[in-house]
Amino acid sequence: MARKVTITREVILESALQMLIEEGFASITVYSLAKRIGCSTQPIVWQFENMEGLRDALSRYAEEYAAKKAFSRGKDAAEAFRHMGRAYIRMAMKEPNLFRFLYLGERPKSKPYSVKDVASVTEDRELVVKIAEQTGLTEQQAMRCVQNTILYSHGIATMIATGVFKASEKDVMAMIEYASESFVLKERGN
């Protein structure tokens, strides 16, 4: 007779995500996770085989968690882009361990980004097209504005997540909005 699974994959991943957010990636071991859940190590090993399997699954789970927070069906493309930016900054401020894991190379198999990768971060060509329409820029110009805004925002978020820079969310968003508007003006030749 098959054994009934009482500690599900979802329970394990949710507990691992909470440990990641609260204590950082380095705190997660099969033993510390089992202790947090209140079980033996067996359910974790049974679900993920080993720590590498758990870390890979946690990486995907954390990405999904962050994506849900960043998703918006804003009134327009610029508002949707701002919502993503606010979610990104909030993560750096309120969940710095998660930010470092996802965006600063702490997760397994993370790789350096190229400019092309930054362009694909938006993953939605429609967003760039709408921003181009709203600003009067070409798609290529709008893409450069998006890339520059992402890179600028990432720099600030990195400084926040690592404790180098402190500011209110309102002040940070004003800085990013100003920079983004400046990128648009630069593309227009102003």
Q: How high is the pLDDT of residue 123?
A: 56
Q: Which of 58, 129, 39 is nearest to 97 (CA)?
A: 58
Q: What local confidence, expressed as pLDDT, does residue 80 receive?
A: 75
Tell me where in the chain the CATH 1.10.10.60 domain(s) lie. 9-62
| Structure confidence at residue 125 (pLDDT) | 75
| pLDDT confidence of residue 76 | 72
Summarised one tens digit per residue, pLDDT across range 135-163 is 899 998 988 888 888 889 999 999 999 99
Domain covering 9-62, topology: Arc Repressor Mutant, subunit A (1.10.10)
What is the distance between the alpha carbons of residues 56 and 48, in angstroms, rounded to a whole number?
A: 9
CA distance 102 to 91: 10
Instruction: Write down the residue that tokens 């993920």 correspond to.
Output: 48
Splitting the chain (190 residues) into consecutive groups of 10 residues, what average pLDDT does each group show?
74 97 95 95 92 92 90 69 85 95 78 63 70 90 88 93 95 92 90
pLDDT value for 116: 64
This prediction's pTM: 0.82
Distances (CA, A) of 149 to 30, 122, 136, 146: 39, 11, 17, 5
Q: Specify the pLDDT at position 129.
A: 85
What pLDDT is recorded for position 143?
A: 87
